[in-house]
């Protein structure tokens, strides 16, 4: 009887501990979890199960590694906020699968993403025809963001993919190439708008001839 009471008490205690750990590590939707998040969550859950199944073992034996994982996750999250390279290493980065209506097979092979995957995710977005897609971006989480062609805009310029050109003071060279612009063009445009130091810009995007610029908090 005493063993069952210990199991119940451990279950309740570990439930509270895991809720606390997940809240401290930050808020993300399940579908937005990175690979690292998923690994940490699985490991913590497994440690909790082992602690419940072995009531004779000291609780700290399971609790200590869980707290260590929480600490590692918090440190990595903080570091990734300061460094784009580390953020891309941990979370990965988005990949443009369809660009200006053209499928990028090379990028698909690089991401080990096949046409069946593409068609399934397009159907989930209620897109029946690949020809209706202007841009499709495979996010780091594995979700597909889809931008359909605007059929009513025949005489206007071709739609520009709203990709960030500057993030955390760093120019996104790949995104500039995707919209057919150069580093020099971006710097000239920013200077004309009164932004001489792009490193002070936390976020900059360009869509349909209009810039959106957010300055870093001083």
Which pLDDT value is given to residue 155? 38
Q: Characterise 72 by phi-psi region: left (phi > 0), alpha (psi -120 to 50), beta (else).
A: alpha
> Average pLDDT in the 209-213 region?
85
Three-state secondary structure of the chain:
CHHHHHHHHHHHHHHHHHHHHHHHHCCCCHHHCCHHHHHHHHHHHHHHHHHHHCCCCCHHHHHHHHHHHHHHHHHHHHHHHHCHHHHHHHHCCCEEEEECCEECHHHHHHCCCCHHHHHHHHHHCCCCCHHHEEEEEECCCCCEEEEECCCCCCCCCCCCCCCEEEECCEECHHHHHHCCCCHHHHHHHHHHCCCCCHHHEEEEEEECCEEEEEECCC
> Average pLDDT in the 94-123 region?
86
> Average pLDDT in the 115-141 region?
85
Query: pLDDT tens digits, residue range 1-20?
Result: 677 788 888 889 888 888 88
Which pLDDT value is given to residue 186? 92
Which pLDDT value is given to residue 159? 47
Q: Which residue has the higher pLDDT, 213 or 3?
A: 213
Q: How confident is the model at residue 29 (pLDDT cuts 50, 70, 90)?
A: very low
Instruction: Say whether pLDDT at 84 is over 80.
Output: no
Which pLDDT value is given to residue 157? 44
Query: pLDDT tens digits, residue range 181-206?
Result: 899 999 999 998 888 888 888 888 88
Which pLDDT value is given to residue 119? 86
Q: Which residue has the higher pLDDT, 152 or 194?
A: 194
């Amino acid at each position: 009887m005493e063993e069952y009471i210990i199991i119940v008490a451990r279950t309740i205690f570990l439930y509270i501990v895991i809720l606390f750990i997940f809240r401290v590590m930050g808020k993300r939707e399940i579908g937005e979890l990175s690979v690292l998040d998923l690994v940490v969550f699985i490991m913590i859950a497994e440690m909790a199960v082992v602690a419940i199944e072995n009531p004779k073992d000291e609780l700290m034996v399971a609790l200590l590694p869980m707290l260590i994982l929480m600490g590692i996750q918090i440190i990595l999250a903080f570091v990734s906020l300061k460094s784009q390279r580390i953020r891309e290493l941990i979370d990965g980065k988005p990949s443009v699968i369809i660009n200006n209506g053209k499928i990028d097979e090379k990028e698909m092979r690089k991401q080990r993403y096949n046409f069946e995957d593409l068609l399934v995710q397009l159907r989930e977005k209620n897109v029946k025809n690949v020809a209706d897609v202007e841009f499709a971006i495979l996010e780091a989480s594995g979700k597909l963001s889809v931008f359909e062609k605007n059929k009513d805009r025949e005489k206007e310029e071709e739609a520009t993919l709203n990709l960030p050109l500057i993030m955390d003071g760093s120019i996104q060279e790949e995104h500039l190439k995707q919209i057919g612009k150069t580093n020099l063009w971006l710097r000239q445009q920013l200077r004309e708008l009164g932004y001489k130091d792009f490193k002070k810009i936390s976020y900059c995007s360009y869509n349909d001839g209009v810039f959106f610029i957010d300055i870093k908090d001083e």
